[in-house]
Structures are given as C-alpha cells and as structure tokens.
A and B are shown apart, each in its own frame.
Chain A
Amino acid sequence: MSESNGNSNGGDQDLGLYFLEVCRRKEMKVKEEEEEEEAPSELNTINSSGGFVVVSTDKLSVKYTSVNLHGHDVGVIQANKAAPTKRLIYYFEIHVKDAGVKGQIGIGFTSETFKMRRQPGWEANSCGYHGDDGLLYRGHGKGEAFGPTYTSGDVVGAGINYAAQEFFFTKNGQVVGSVSKDIKGPLFPTIAVHSQNEEVLVNFGQRPFTFDLREFEAQERMKQQLKIEEIPVPPNISYGIVRSYLLHYGYEDTLNSFDVASKSTVPPIYIAQENGIVEQEITYALNHRKTLRQLIRNGEIDAAFGKLREWYPQIVEDNTSATCFLLHCQKFIELVRVGALEEAVKYGRTELSSFFGLPVFEDLVQDCVALLAYERPLESSVGYLLKDSQREVVADTVNAMILSTNPNMKESKNCLHSYLERLLRQLTACCLERRSLNGDQGEAFQLQRVLSSSKRG
C-alpha cells in the first residue's frame, strides 16, 4: 500500500471513529457533566478558637460561652471547606439566635491561614460585616461605613460574586452592599461571636435561604448580558452561519425554504459571497447527503447501504470500518424497534459479532445486544439507542464521510464541524481557559444553559 493511500484511509477511519466516540459519550452522559465542587457543609470544629465557643453537635451553630476580655479572644469559626469557585456566586447565611451581651457578631470570608482568635476583617486576607456597628472590615481593625447593624432575630448573609469579583452581604433578604474582592486563593466562610451568650446558626444551603439567590443570579446574568449586547457584530452574520450549518449537514429542504424566505424579506438579505470557495466545500454532494440523511432518519438502513454502494462505494468498502459498524448497529436497532427480534439476532450474528472484543466497538455492540434482553427496551438503560438522536449521529457520520470524499476538501476536520460548531467550541475553550487563568473562578460556558435561559422580553 502506498503511503498516500495509507494516509487517506487512516483519515477517513478517524472520521468514523469520531462519531463512534460521540455515541459512546452519550451513554456515559452522567459522568460527562462537570464535577460538582465540594462545598462547605458544616463548621470546622478542629480549627476553631477552642475554649471560647461551643459548637453544637450538628456543627451548624455556635455559642460564645466565656466572658470576653480583649480583642484576641474572639470565638471565630470557619466552614469545613473553602467556598467553591467554579460558579457565578457562592453564598451562605447566618441566623442570629441571640445577640448576647454586646452583639459583637461577624460574618465574612477568611483565608486558610487566618488567625483564629480575631474577627473576620481585622486581619489581612479577610473581610467581614460586623453586627454591633454595621461596619465592613477589610484587612485591618478600622471599619468602613457599610450597612445597618444586626442583632437577635436577623438573618445575615455573605457571598462572593465571582463575575463581578465582589463580596456582598445581605440582611433579612436584602442586599446591604458589596465591596471589591481583593483577596486571592481559597476563602472560607467564617462567622464570629465575641460576647457572652451570643449564639448563631449557620445555613450552608441545607435549608432555603431567606435571600432570593436565584433572582440575584438571574440579575447578575442580565447585567453580563447587557454588556455583551453592546458588542457589535457584522450585520447578517447569523444568517450566513445558519445557512452554512444547513449546508454542512445536508438539510437541503430547510436550506431551500430559508433561501426563498431571506430573498423576499424587506430588505432582502444578501450573504457575502467572498468565502465562496469555502462554501463550495459544504455544498458538495448536497442532494446525496440529504437523501442519505432522510433514509437513515426513516430507519431505512438497507436502502442507505444501497445508495452508498452506488454513489460512494469507497465509504462502505471496508465492512469493518467505524462507519459500516455504526450503520450495522443502526440496522440492528431498527429491527429491534419494529419487534423483529429473530431477524435482529440473525443480523447481529452475521454483521456485529466480528466487532465483539474490539476495544472501541465493544461498548456499543454490547449495548445493542442488550436491547434484546428487555421487554420494553426503550425504558431500559440502553434505551438511548432507540432515540431519534442515535439515527441523527449515524446520519451525521455518513454525511461527514461523504464530505470527506470531496477532492477539494482541505482539512478532514472541516467534514466534522460546521462553522457554528467551530465558533461554539472556540467560545467554550476561551471561557474555560480564562477561568483557569483566573484561579478557577466563575462559571463555565454551557450552551445548554443559554438555550434554557429564562424567556425574558
């Protein structure tokens, strides 16, 4: 085999494998979601200022039991974990059960090495809102005007807004104010009591907050959205991207309707043609790709095989390729769908058995075969195979394979990803990179969240 031959075969095989990977990922959906960071759940009773306070057995309330004499016997206590950072906002609340003799209660955030006998805010790398004077302390013993005092019966909250890089505090459900967050590194939710009988309950989210955090988050997102909306984009750029998407995936009927409609709008929309050469890449074999997509979406796999043999024999030449494998699996799935179980067994024996034991194919073969084990396969753990999206993946595979037969296709990567997808990947990667360069602070971009975001006017 000549070197160039070997390369092109290898490339095509990779395309098929790419989609195989997409299928396998689907079944492992749960693992793929971003790992939840550990969040504070209780008070840290090991690293607390022992002797001055008593922490309840549930580790969610604290009481000052001594008589305070000076500024170095504060009953201060941190949460068991640092505030998680990979999110828009972190927030916790305290309920002042008893303001004790002097009401010298503090709430805020401190770094890991915080001196555990001082009020949050009195020392460097800490910030605190104090109940007796309503002042905000940031790194030294002199407070700044901030908000009202708080006492018995009040609910006070402290939060970190990672997007705005601010600390904010609330009292009885209302925002008191915010200050710039100038401390780096992990920050621990911290509370302090400093006069006899002061008692505070802490809520790390086990119970509903008094403060409407969801609404606050929604407003924060709106603020960011407004900033984004100011950015200009070239006119009609979205039309061009949608159009190239339809071309890329061979949604030809949609494309035709779209073109007719955009020509008749007032004023008509003209999409710049300067990237005509690039567009040629995805106009390639449009009608063939549309036909095959329809066949596969209708579950007519034999017919799809037939058309491929007729039009693109090179794609189905190697019966052990990932593309053929996906088509065979789909045929098997279609047989199960219509209840032709015997035929499915027979088909599986002839076409799928050879894939058993091969690392990349094995999972999917096993899942396919497992369909036979269930009376109602759709409701089983392998039910995803019977969904529309599985047909779509197979159709996308064939679509990419046909695109790759275009002699003018410059990069095989272009067969896989539409412009829209490339832009979305770039967006996601930029957000992730920026977060990782920013001490892992803030939430990642998720297309899902944008799509399900509230319908606001």
Chain B
Amino acid sequence: MSLFWIVIRQLAEIEAMAASKKVITREEWEKKLSDVKIKKEDMNKLVMNFLVTEGYVAAAEEFRKESGTEPDIDLATITDRMAVKTAVQNGNVEDAIEKVNDLNPEILDTNPQLFFHLQQQRLIELIRNGKIEEALEFAQEELAPRGEENQGFLEELEQTVALLAFDDVTECPVKDLLDISQRLKTASEVNAAILTSQSHEKDPKLPSLLKMLIRSQNLLDEKAAYPRVTDLSTAILEDPAV
C-alpha cells in the first residue's frame, strides 16, 4: 500500500472520529443534571472550608450558627493565623515572627525557607523606611550567614541588597520587592505554613473544584458536544456548538 493511501485512510479515521462526536441536546443534558445528587450539607461543608481556610473567622462563626455546619478546624486558631498574616501584610515582620513562634515554634525551625523569606521581608521593610545603616547591619548579621548555607538564599539576598544601590528605586530592576505584592507573597507563605502545621490543607477546596470543572469540560469536549458552562460566575449553560 502506498503512503498516499495510508494517509487517506488515516484522514478518514479522523473524520469518522470527529463525526462520531456525540451530540447531547439541552433537554437531554438537563435531565442528566437533574439526576445528579448533591447534598446540601456537603455544599455547606465546602463553603465552611472556604471561610475557614481563607481566614474569615467571624463569617465562619456566623455560618456555623446559621447553617449548623461544624468547621473542620478550631476557629480560635484562625484568629491567631490571621493576626500573623495581617502583621506581614502591614509590614510588621518582627511582630509576625514572634506570633508564629508563640503559635508553634516548630513552624520556623522546620521551615528554613519561610524563615529566610520573613527575614528578607524585614530587610525590605528597613530599606523601605530608609533605615540604611540598620538594613546593612541586619543583612550582614542575620541574612548573610544563611546565604552561605544555601545558594538560593544567597541570590535572593543579593537581589534584595541591590535595592540599596539605587538612589531612585524606580530604576532598580528588583523594585518589585518593594511592592505590596511581595508582602502578600510572604504573608501567604506564612499562612500556608501555619495551616500545614495544623494539618489542615493550605488551600480551600472550592477553587480546585472549579478547576476540575474546567478540566472535565475540556476532556468531555473531545468526545461530545453538550451544553457547557463557560462563565463560572454566572453558571449559565450554553447551547452545544454543532
């Protein structure tokens, strides 16, 4: 058989596959949707998990009262965790470090990277506040020894110190370190570490489920045309494109 015919046959197969894509009408699909059983209490748990993981203590407390859903973590620990997070977000890194150690000294002991990033954030805050001498002293005494232990840390330290080399920081290639987003990054790192230390997942389950929805729709697209939800925020079913 010549190559030509092989190619033609393969094309025919592909065509057949495309043609055999199952078409599911809106009516059929809605029947399938209504056959799905979702328990209210499971949805409540999902919402509670979101509130708790994202640190909405007061809302979690209200939700417990209004829906009777028990949180999967002691709500008091959320308050402590949020205090640490807020401290970092506001640039009070020393305060945050003290609070983490009050909560559980093992968190920083077992997490050198997190500890380094907190110290780095401290350095950034000193530079932001124009405390140049203090910043230099802090970099040499606290951060440099850690950089010697770890090549990655050393590079990050060097980048941070580069902030000092510019009169006008806006010209500095690492000026983003002074951005609020750097605080948020550090805050979320410490938040995740505390959650992990409490053997709780660091991320809420809801965003993963949304990702699962996107993925399962993408996978089903290969085999069928059916009403999909493209805009998650409205959950509107769109008619299958045939």
Contacts and interface: CB of A to CB of B under 8 A. Distances in A.
Interface of A: 22, 25, 32, 225, 227-229, 231, 233-234, 237-238, 240-242, 245-246, 249, 251-254, 256-258, 260-262, 266-267, 272, 275, 278, 290, 293-294, 297, 388-389, 392-393, 396, 418-434, 437-438, 445, 447-448, 450-451, 455-457
Given A425-B36, A434-B224, A451-B205, 10 more contacts: A231-B215, A238-B207, A275-B234, A293-B66, A389-B41, A419-B235, A420-B206, A426-B235, A431-B216, A451-B42
A421 B43 contact: yes
A428 B180 contact: no
A227 B215 contact: yes
Contact of A430 (B39, B50, B220): B220
Interface residues of B, number: 69
User: Chain B: interface secondary structure?
Assistant: helix
A438 B223 CA distance: 9
B92 to A, nearest CB: 12
A433 B24 contact: yes
B26 interface: no
Contacts of B204: 238
Nearest to B223: A437
A421 B22 CA distance: 25
Contacts of B207: 233, 237-238
Nearest to A240: B233
Contacts of B45: 451
A426 B208 contact: no
Nearest to A430: B216
Interface in B193-242: 195-196, 199-202, 204-217, 219-220, 223-224, 226, 228-229, 232-235, 237
B6 interface: no
B32 A450 contact: no
A389 B204 CA distance: 24
Contacts of A393: 40
B206 A242 contact: yes
Given A254-B62, A421-B38, A434-B220, A392 B68 contact: yes
Given A425-B36, A427-B213, A433-B32, A418 B43 contact: yes
Counting chain B CB atoms within 10 Å of each CB, the highest count among A246, A249, A451 belongs to A451
19 contacts: A234-B232, A242-B47, A242-B51, A249-B67, A253-B62, A254-B62, A256-B62, A266-B183, A389-B40, A420-B206, A423-B229, A424-B209, A426-B235, A429-B29, A432-B36, A437-B224, A447-B38, A447-B39, A450-B209
Contact of A396 (B22, B40, B49, B229): B40
A423 B234 CA distance: 9
Interface in B93-143: none
Contacts of A252: 66
B33 interface: yes
Interface string B176-194: 0000100110000000100
Given A258-B51, A418-B43, A433-B224, A241 B59 contact: no
Contacts of A430: 213, 216-217, 219-220, 226
Contacts of A234: 232-233
Q: Which 8 A-B pairs have the closest CB atoms?
A: A457-B196, A257-B59, A430-B216, A258-B59, A257-B58, A422-B235, A254-B62, A254-B63
Contacts of B59: 254, 257-258, 261
A241 B233 contact: yes
A375 to B, nearest CB: 26
A262 to B, nearest CB: 8
B56 A261 contact: yes
B36 A428 contact: yes
Nearest to B37: A32
Nearest to B32: A429
B202 A457 contact: yes
B122 to A, nearest CB: 18
Nearest to A428: B36
B215 A245 contact: no
Interface of B: 22, 24, 29, 32-34, 36-43, 45-47, 49-51, 56, 58-59, 61-63, 65-68, 86, 89-90, 180, 183-184, 192, 195-196, 199-202, 204-217, 219-220, 223-224, 226, 228-229, 232-235, 237
A450 B212 CA distance: 11
B210 to A, nearest CB: 5
Contacts of A275: 233-234
Contacts of A22: 40
A237 B230 CA distance: 13
A294 B56 CA distance: 22
Contacts of B49: 451
A430 B213 CA distance: 8
B180 A447 contact: no
A457 B201 contact: yes
B26 to A, nearest CB: 12
Given A297-B68, A447-B39, A456-B201, A423 B47 contact: no
Contacts of A258: 51, 56, 59
B205 A450 contact: yes
A438 B183 CA distance: 47
A423 B232 contact: yes
Contact of A424 (B38, B65, B66): B38
A22 B225 CA distance: 30
Contacts of B224: 433-434, 437
B216 A231 contact: no
Contact of B43 (A253, A293, A420, A456): A420
Contact of A25 (B37, B46, B180): B37
Counting chain B CB atoms within 10 Å of each CB, the highest count among A22, A252, A254, A457 belongs to A254
B4 to A, nearest CB: 27
A235 B39 CA distance: 27
Contacts of B213: 423, 426-427, 430
Given A297-B68, A422-B229, A451-B45, A433 B210 contact: no
